[in-house]
Structure 1
Amino acid sequence: MSYPLFAMVQLGVVPPVTFPADSRYYGFGVQQYTAPDGKVIAYLARRIVPQPGAPNFATINQYTVHQNDRLDLIAARYLGDPLMFWLICDANGAIAPHELVASPGRVLAITTPQGVPGGLGA
């Protein structure tokens, strides 16, 4: 079975999938797997979540969670972009973002990649 869109990407007619620099998947490519039946399945390369406190992140602030907090609003306040919530997830070892704001009183590390200037709340 052929997949016209996949063929067009391979031929350069359609640009390959790229992620913006603020995406957690920036720099990760789309991989392909050919199943035994010949079907081609596209998937994202696996992204390993860094360990909290990893040396490639710089802590710029801390935030104490309050009732009804939203991670996107915390990211907007401290990092200047609500879509950067994933940096807070990485800094705190969270796979599920909602878990970070589920317990009022929890202290979150707010980080940026090492060498990147601090966000708005820094």
Structure 2
Amino acid sequence: MADIEPYENALDAIPGAHPYPRTSRYHDAEIGIHRQADGTEVRYAKPRLLPPLDERQGPEAHPHTVGAGERPDLLAQRYFGDPAQWWQIADANPVLDPRELTDEAGRVIGIPSLGGLPRGDRRV
């Protein structure tokens, strides 16, 4: 996430500035408000609706053959430099449970671009 300006990172640290940091899968989710019978407001993130798979992966999706012992968070660290971005990989592939991405060695999954081309075989 080196492309984010320092002041934007600082805003993420201010309580109440935004309910989710810019790196969260829910950052762009619409926030709903539910009023309970006593008038108390409960805020919640409305469901994220994903675009069709072709649009999610985009033309720069990078195929990755899953190796034994790999996990979505380890792949996110490898390709994006941030294990918390595992959800980017999950969103780019047709699975209900992110563990399905790496539960079978030899499976080919798509690694989406994150601000450009994937970082390839970067290991940290």
Decide: shared fold, TM above 0.5.
yes
Q: Counterpart in 2 of 1:40?
A: 41
Tell me how far 1:21 sits from its aligned partner. Answer: 2.1
- What is the CA–CA distance in structure 2 between the aligned matches of 1:85 and 1:55, rounded to whole Å? 14
SS in 2 for 1:23: coil
The number of equivalent residue pairs is 107
Q: 1:16 to 1:32 in 2, by over 3 A?
A: farther
If the length of structure 1 is used for normalisation, what is the TM-score? 0.72
- What is the CA–CA distance in structure 1 between the aligned matches of 2:44 and 2:50, rounded to whole Å? 18
For the aligned residue pairs, the C-alpha RMSD in angstroms reads: 2.3
Q: Which runs of 4+ in 1 moved over 4 A?
A: none
Q: For 1:18, give the aligned amino acid.
A: P
Q: Counterpart in 2 of 1:96?
A: 97
* 2:24 is aligned with 1:23: yes
Which has the higher Rg, Structure 1 or Structure 2? 1
Provide Cα deviations, 1:56-87, integer angstroms capped at 9, x if missing partner. Answer: 73434211112221111111112222111111
Note the residue ranges of structure 2 that are not aligned, 5 or more in a row: 1-14
If the length of structure 2 is used for normalisation, what is the TM-score? 0.71
- What is the CA–CA distance in structure 1 between the aligned matches of 2:58 and 2:81, rounded to whole Å? 17
State the identity %: 31
